[in-house]
Structure 1
Amino acid sequence: MKLQRDKLHQYALRIQTLTSRETEIARECLRQNQKPRALLALRRKKYQESLLAKTDQQLAQLEVLTSDVEFALVQKDVLFGLQRGTEVLREIHREMGGLERVEMILGESAEAREYQEEVSEMLGGKMSNQDEDEVEDELEAMQDEVSGVRLPSAPSSGLEEAGEVKLPDVPQETPAQRAKRRRTERAREQASEPLAA
């Protein structure tokens, strides 16, 4: 279609050249007092102009047809994309097992949380304060390790020997102070639990 459109454009340009040439011929004939030849040239010009008008109409129709075909191709691509998207969604839905499966997983998660809380409460009630303090000490040591804080028992890196400035020592909490602080925190938590319920 685009090739035909280009051919029609070339044909229209040729006709325009011919009409200009026929006008020149008609003028030349009038200068030479050849009125019948001038009239013939003007008739040929008129005929060429009618052909040009028909060519323009065909070009317009071809342009509309070309744009319709291009739009149909875009629609086809969009439709294919929608179909493919629907297939992917169906596949994901099949893999997930549907809404019922999601609800079941959420229910299992809630049950697992409740079970964990029950176990935590049972263990918390059966442990002595000293055991609880040791567990919390271990948790703090792990947190310090994960966050990159150097533990007091870690070996020196030799920075002091390399001329680095030594920072003043931060007073460490004694085990007795830590135990007292934890007892106070537990008492506050237990006092606030009836308010939260």
Structure 2
Amino acid sequence: MGHLFSKRKSRVTEHDKALLQLKTTRDKIHQYQKRSEATVEKDRQLAKKLIRDGKKERALLLLRKKKFIEEQLKKTDGTLDNIEKMIQDIEFSQIEMQVVDSLKIGNESLKQINAMLSIEDVEHILDETQEAVEKQREIDALLSGGLLTEEDETAAEEELDAIIADAIQKRLPEAPTDVENPEVVLPDVPETLPEAEKKAQKEKVAMAAS
């Protein structure tokens, strides 16, 4: 695909030649106008001097020449307008051609990229991505306890309390009996613990489980 973006060799087209010729003509006309304007001003000043010297015939010839040059300058103004318009049209056409060429290159590149990826591949990638996202959500929910309802939490706590109480009961020594007076009954060992001790036992069991 790299060949699509390789640098093009610069070449002079017919449009470039026409554009160069028009600009050269424009520059020559500008130079002609400057020379003509200088000549007109020079003839005007010389005509004034001839009139002061009483040489009216020569002054009239200079004024006629000056008038002719001024008429030519008016014509060159119109020619310049046409040339400038043609230059702008050609330059804009060249920009349009560059845009079209760029669109062609981009379209060809897009076709090649699409050919590298099939619809089945894209669907498979999306499915795998969705499965991974859902699995991660389940893991996050389990870690945060989000899958347990309030009843489940209560049942789990009650089961933990029972395990703790059973563990404590096994650790306590058996209650002694009165050998001389077997009818005497000792008080039963309480099966429940104060809340503070129960909480401490829960923490111990939780630490042992982890």
Ranges of 4+ aligned residues in structure 1 off by more than 6 Å: 111-117
1:24 to 33, 39, 45: 45
- In structure 2, the partner of 1:62 is 83
SS in 2 for 1:33: coil
Distance 1:108 1:46 in 2: 88
Once the two structures are superposed, the pairs formed by residues 47-196 of structure 1 within 5 Å of their partners are: 47-98=68-119, 100-107=120-127, 109-110=129-130, 178-180=207-209, 182=210
Residue 107 (structure 1) shift: 3.1
| Amino acid paired to 2:35 | R
Q: Does the C-alpha gap of structure 1 residues 3 and 176 become closer, same or farther in structure 2, counting only changes over 3 Å?
A: same
- In structure 2, the partner of 1:42 is 63
Residue 106 (structure 1) shift: 2.1
**How many residues are treated as equivalent by the alignment?**
124
Distance 1:74 1:101 in 2: 39
Instruction: Extract unaligned runs of 5+ from structure 1.
Output: 118-174, 183-197
Q: Which moved more, 1:3-12 or 1:107-116?
A: 107-116
TM-score (norm. length: structure 2): 0.51
Residue 102 (structure 1) shift: 1.4
Residue 36 (structure 1) shift: 2.1
- Computing the radius of gyration from Cα coordinates, the structure with the larger value is 2
User: Residue deviations 1:88-132, cap 9 Å, x none?
Assistant: 11111111124x541243235556888999xxxxxxxxxxxxxxx
Distance 1:103 1:44 in 2: 85
Instruction: Extract unaligned runs of 5+ from structure 2.
Output: 1-21, 139-203
